[in-house]
Structure 1
Amino acid sequence: MLDSALKHQKAFEMLEIQDPKFTEELVEKGKGVPTYMDWEEAQAILPFLKIFYDATLRISGSSYVASNMYMLEVFEIGSQINKMCDSDDAFLESMALKMRKKYDRYWGKIEQLNMLLLISTVLDPRYKLKYVNWSISDNFNSQEAKELKELLETNLYQLFAEYSGVGQGSQRGSQLSLGGKQDRYSYSRFLQSTGSSSSGQTDLQKYLEESIETQFPDDFDILKWWKENSSRLPILAKMAKDLFAIPISTVPSESTFSLGGWVIDEHRSCLTPKMVEALICSYSCIRGSRKSSIIDSLIIEDYNELEKLEQEVAAMKTGDACSASVALDED
């Protein structure tokens, strides 16, 4: 809205001159017409607000993974706010300082950060632990950064141990096996408890020691990447599957409820819950797999065919009515 207003600044200025009622109405509402200073401040704040707008678009999507990007967006916003706090413009500085207080209320304290979202970013092969640690150092002071890095690494290895089954060996007993043989002496449980494997490295160690994926397309599909590497890193693949399913915003759930209102209406109120679930899931699958305009073109083609058929039926009905009228006249 602010962007559109700035594009029509000249129109507003001319309207103020040509239409006295425009000025009178704004004065009556207590706002008054925009001054030159208002336009200057709007122009200055627009690039800063665009950061929030772009971040909202990226993390509010419902057809792609967003949990791996959430903390990166948060850190980027925090970094931009810090830069604005040192601005030479007094207006921008005062606004940035107010935003800094609100930002610190949610993400400024280490104990308030969600470790699962940070781990989700680590499981992105484009970033891994090195980039996340660098981002932490760039957004916190040295002492806080050190504490957060240690906390992140501790939670990462604890979560990996949980998925590896460490501590559950007593429940599994002699069913554990190593190399397809019965594990009589609990050797595989020993390897798990020490964070080792038969090859000397765990999935997590292999993943973190590998180089970061630097050559990737703009439409990089992280779920596809983990699917292709699930046989090589099976435990991490399970972790990624669960962590990437974390909803970041309420947009997908609200969209689902809205879709439910479209499916169940006054003309289709007797559908069974199973049928409603099937319809909603089918729609989600079709929308999620829409990589091009092929489906849209098919829908348009079907609609055109239906419209053509309706026209033919209407013409037939009109022809029948005319025939009937002629027959009555002849009688």
Structure 2
Amino acid sequence: MSLDGKRGLRQDVPSRWNSTFLMIENALYYRRAFCHLELTDSNYKNCPTVDEWSKVEKIDKFLAVFYDAICAFSGTKYPAANLYFPLVFMIYLTLRQQTENEDEYMRRMAVQMLAKFEKYWLDFNVLLAIAVSLDPRYKLQFVDFCYKKLYGYNGSPAYLNVREKLFSLFLEYASNVPTTSTTTGKRGGKVVHVSPIQSFSKETKAVMQEFDSFELDEESTHSQKSQLELYLDEPRVDRSANIDILAFWKANQFRFPKLASMARDVLSVPISTVASESTFSVGRRVIDQFRSSLRPDTVEALVCTRDWLYGEKELAQMKLDELMDDVMNLDINKESMDDNRGHSQD
């Protein structure tokens, strides 16, 4: 059927739903091969019907968004917080859409899952929605888009809440990060502060200070844009671009120093406090008939290979003379034990 045979099929593990998705995904890939086998081999009686294949396709699309989330939230890579909101939004949107599915089986399953997920959705931290706005591919437009997609125009209050919290958080950083009018340099290993007007007289300094206040009056904070506003007003980066978000803010820390400081703290928030394996598995942490996929001979080969590798490493470090001494001592001890047994019998 001109299909890649190396892809292979996956076994289902009933206690782990992601293994069910992988099984279904690969089975759909070989669907034509299964149908062809049913026509050519009379002994093959277990090929799914057309209706069953249709149900499998629906479940595959449904579980795909969850699988995307588990891959992105994997604890081995420690992803930045900007990945959280888009994936959780997709899960919530998928559940809401499936509650209106014409298929009774899918609708009933989605309703039960949505009832549990909504409790989590209502309690998730707003900071994780703020994190996606610090991604130049999404910004606040994506948050607005998500809430309108979920709630229509009724989603505006939720978006405005995120926007308000974002600007409030930035003001905290802007007020706490010191801004000085001096530049620093190094002389002989010591930091020297150089003021641009240190050579002026008192009268000149007074006039210059008056100019500073004049500048603030003419260009007040209402007319000047903050670093956050300048960042949000810039065109968004192509969403399909592969961007290292931490490297982006490191490169722009001189353009937006206060905003970059806030971005580092927000993006470092861990998405999950437990490993994804523990989160998305309903099985216990024991090896049972469902979680053990290795055949006994494979396990035996792995154990023996491990012993041989470590054994060879240890034997290579031992001297041959020491090994021979140990063997001789064993023989001597054995002879003495035999003699003692003979005397005791006498």
Contact 2:74–2:276 under 8 Å retained in 1: no
Are the aligned partners of 1:67 and 1:245 in contact in 2 as well (CA < 8 Å)?
Answer: yes
Q: Any residues of structure 2 matched to 1:1-331 within 5 Å, and which? A: 1=12, 2-3=20-21, 44-107=58-121, 109=122, 112-143=123-154, 145-165=155-175, 177-178=180-181, 187=213, 195=221, 200-214=224-238, 218=242, 220-251=243-274, 310-314=314-318, 316-317=320-321
Amino acid at match of 1:96: A
Offset, 1:320: 5.6
Question: Partners of 1:157 and 1:203 in 2: how far apart?
Answer: 11
Q: The residue matched to 2:254 in structure 1 has which SS?
A: coil
> Contact 1:59–1:66 (CA<8 Å) still a contact in 2?
no
- The answer (yes or no) to whether the contact 1:41–1:91 under 8 Å persists in 2 is no
- In the alignment, the residues of structure 1 paired with residue 124 and residue 220 of structure 2 have an alpha-carbon distance, to the nearest angstrom, of 29
Distance 2:235 2:253 in 1: 17
TM-superposed CA distance for 1:216, in Å, is 6.3
CA distance 1:132–1:194, shift in 2 (3 Å): farther
Contact 1:177–1:188 (8 Å) recurs in 2: no
Change (3 A) 1:3 1:138: closer
* Alignment TM-score, normalising by the size of structure 2: 0.55
Is the helix fraction higher in 1 or 2? 1
- Describe the SS at the equivalent of 1:232: coil
Question: Does the 8 Å CA contact 1:128/1:212 hold for their aligned counterparts?
Answer: yes
SS state at 2:111 partner: helix
C-alpha displacement of 1:58: 0.9
Is the CA contact (8 Å cut-off) linking 1:71 and 1:118 kept in structure 2? yes
1:196-239 C-alpha deviation (Å, 9 max, x unpaired): 69xx4321122111111217654x31111111111111011111
CA contact (8 A) 2:99 2:107 kept: yes
Alignment TM-score, normalising by the size of structure 1: 0.57
Is this contact kept in 2: 1:68–1:121, CA < 8 A? yes
Q: Distance in 2 between matches of 1:201 and 1:239?
A: 17
Alpha-carbon distance change, 253 to 90 in structure 1, aligned in 2, over 3 angstroms: closer
Residue 251 of structure 1: CA displacement? 2.5
- Per the alignment, in what secondary structure is the counterpart of residue 206 of structure 1? helix
Report the CA distance shift for 1:228/1:100 in structure 2 as closer, same or farther (over 3 A): same
- Verify the 8 A CA contact 1:60 1:251 in the aligned structure 2: no
- Cα distance, 1:149–1:4 mapped onto 2, change above 3 Å: closer
| Residues 249, 317 of structure 1: alpha-carbon distance in 2 compared, 3 angstrom cutoff | farther
For 2:213 and 2:310, locate their aligned partners in 1 and report how far apart those are by CA, in whole Å: 68
Q: Deviations over 1:2-53 (max 9, x none)?
A: 347665xx9xxxxxxxxxxxxxxxxxxxxxxxx9999985664243123213
**1:141 match: secondary structure:** helix
Count the aligned residue pairs.
237
Secondary structure at the counterpart of residue 60 of structure 1 = coil
Amino acid at match of 1:101: A
Q: 1:59·1:249 contact (CA, 8 Å) conserved in 2?
A: yes
CA contact (8 A) 2:227 2:259 kept: yes
Give the CA deviation at 1:187: 4.7
Q: Identity over aligned residues, as a percent? A: 29
> Which whole-Å CA distance do the structure 1 matches of 2:215 and 2:270 have between them?
34
Rounded Cα–Cα distance in structure 1 between residues aligned with 2:327 and 2:214: 88
Q: Give the alignment's Cα RMSD to 1 decimal.
A: 4.3
Offset at 1:82? Answer: 2.3
**For residues 5 and 137 of structure 1, do their structure 2 counterparts lie closer, same or farther at Cα, with a shift above 3 Å needed?**
closer
Give the direction of change, closer, same or farther, for the CA distance of 1:194–1:320 in structure 2 (3 Å limit): farther
Q: Secondary structure at the match of 1:61?
A: coil
Query: Highest Rg: 1 or 2?
Result: 2
For 2:175 and 2:214, the matched residues in 1 are separated by 11
Q: Which amino acid aligns with 1:137?
A: K
